[in-house]
Structure 1
């Protein structure tokens, strides 16, 4: 009788560990989904469609500069759909991206009263 109760306890512990593992995996997937929703799902694609630049205007609205099948388009993407804002004849020149100011430097400026 003692061996049967030991087996039941081991099975219950294994089941609890398995359920805990499933919960952790579900939390990881939910967090990844949430981060993707907050970023707007922006993932540059390869092939005939390429996102050259994107700028968030709000939680669900953004402006995107895309190359699609040889056309250069400025798009407005939001919860009401996608609209073409402008069609470029030639690919527009993009400014060089500026590096963000390091946090420590920004904090030091704020303490001095600058910026």
Structure 2
């Protein structure tokens, strides 16, 4: 755009004064240049909005497709228990069907340590943990049960 305006300004300054007074063509050419820039800017904004809309649409579709899949039902492999041995090493007890396997996990490797002949019965003394929002309300002293 600077080149176009510079060329117009150079052409106007090179013309004799009598030509400038006779022809008002140079003033008509300046709005045409600015409307072209406005058109390009409008096209750029609409293109950007189209791409952003497409990104949000694809993200929404991906989320819907992932929710439609199996949500944990029919899982064959289940983690029964886990114990940290160090900052990067741990033991895991995994149940596959009716068989339990003790695994050693370290960075870069998983080793089957022992296959248990009899499955270990884990007592279900875990109480269900409340949702984060419920816990936050309890900590703030605004339990929802108090509102009733």
Instruction: Sort the TM-score into its range (normalised by shorter chain).
Output: 0.3 to 0.5
TM-score (norm 1): 0.47
Could you say which structure has the greater relative contact order, defined with CA pairs below 8 angstroms and 6 or more residues apart?
Answer: 1
Computing the radius of gyration from Cα coordinates, the structure with the larger value is 2
Using the size of structure 2 for normalisation, the TM-score is 0.39
Compare the two structures and name the one with the higher strand fraction.
Answer: 1
Q: Which has the higher helix share?
A: 2
